[in-house]
Amino acid sequence: MLNDLLARNQEWSKQRHAEESDYFTRLAALQAPEFFWIGCSDSRVPANVVAGLDPGEVFVHRNVANIVHSSDMNLLSALEFAVEALKVREIIVCGHYGCGGVKAATEDLPQSLADHWLEPIRRLARSYAVDLAQQPEIEARRDRLAELNVVEGVWRVCETPILQRAWRRGANLRVHGLIYGLKDGRLRDLDCSGGPGHFQKEVAE
């Protein structure tokens, strides 16, 4: 299996070099992505592929069910680096329909570490119980919950001191919430974007 992977890599590297001879030297010299992507670890939702972007064009953080925990040092470190060092222009929180993490959060599971990780989704399910009950099918309820989890993630990113600081100094940085459909390969905008002024105004009030 591993040898297979290494052989595929050599083939890919050779092909890429043949298509564009300075491809690797160019990328090795500079990383200048416009996007920071917070997505699910699900193997079917690779950021570069579904967004049609090349290596070098998107800085990526993925975790189970694309949850934005406000104390996740891994996510916060990546976010800070993306904003402060890479100066990305757009931050995308991307969920997906048919998410196994969201499904697990709606089931009674034996105690596991994943229960702790998924707790924010359980909390969302309780907060939006009336909204979710409008969907008769369990699949539709989970998909709606996946959307709510993205919206919540966008708010949480906007509320981090990292974004507040960036907006206060005038950075033109926007945070968007998208959802990906495994069945049709489409990304949809959930219309919950935050941008400069959006959060500062709330603070001033």
Q: What are the catalytic residues?
A: 40, 42, 44, 96, 99
Cβ-based neighbours of 189, under 8 Å, separated by 6 or more: 176, 177, 178
Interaction mask 67-106, Co ion, x per CB under 5 A? --------------------------------x-x-----
Torsion of CA 104, 110, 114, 119, to 10 degrees: 70
Of 27 and 182, the one with the shorter C-beta distance to Co ion is 182
Of 16 and 103, the one with the shorter C-beta distance to Co ion is 103
Contact by Cβ (8 Å): 65, 149: yes
Tell me which stretch binds Co ion (CB under 5 A): 1-9, 35-43, 108-116, 183-191.
35-43
For residue 103, the surrounding DSSP H or E stretch is helix 100-105
Contact by Cβ (8 Å): 179, 187: yes
Q: Does residue 42 bind Co ion (CB under 5 A)?
A: yes
Instruction: Please give the DSSP secondary-structure letter assigned to residue 79.
Output: H
Of 150 and 157, the one with the shorter C-beta distance to Co ion is 150
Of 105 and 166, the one with the shorter C-beta distance to Co ion is 105
Q: By C-alpha distance, which of 155, 26, 158 is closest to 83?
A: 158
Residue 119: CB minimum distance to Co ion, A? 16
Residue 136: CB minimum distance to Co ion, A? 23
Phi, psi for 193 (deg, rounded to 5): -65, 150
Of 33 and 101, the one with the shorter C-beta distance to Co ion is 101
Q: Which of the residues 154 through 193 are near Co ion (CB under 5 A)?
A: none
Residue 45: CB minimum distance to Co ion, A? 7
Residue 69: CB minimum distance to Co ion, A? 15
Kindly report the length of the chain: 205
Q: Does residue 40 bind Co ion (CB under 5 A)?
A: yes
Residue 41: CB minimum distance to Co ion, A? 7
Q: Does residue 145 bind Co ion (CB under 5 A)?
A: no
DSSP secondary structure, 110-169, as one string: -S-HHHHHTHHHHHHHHHTHHHHHT--SHHHHHHHHHHHHHHHHHHHHHHSHHHHHHHHT
Residues lying near Co ion in the complex (CB under 5 A): 40, 42, 99, 101
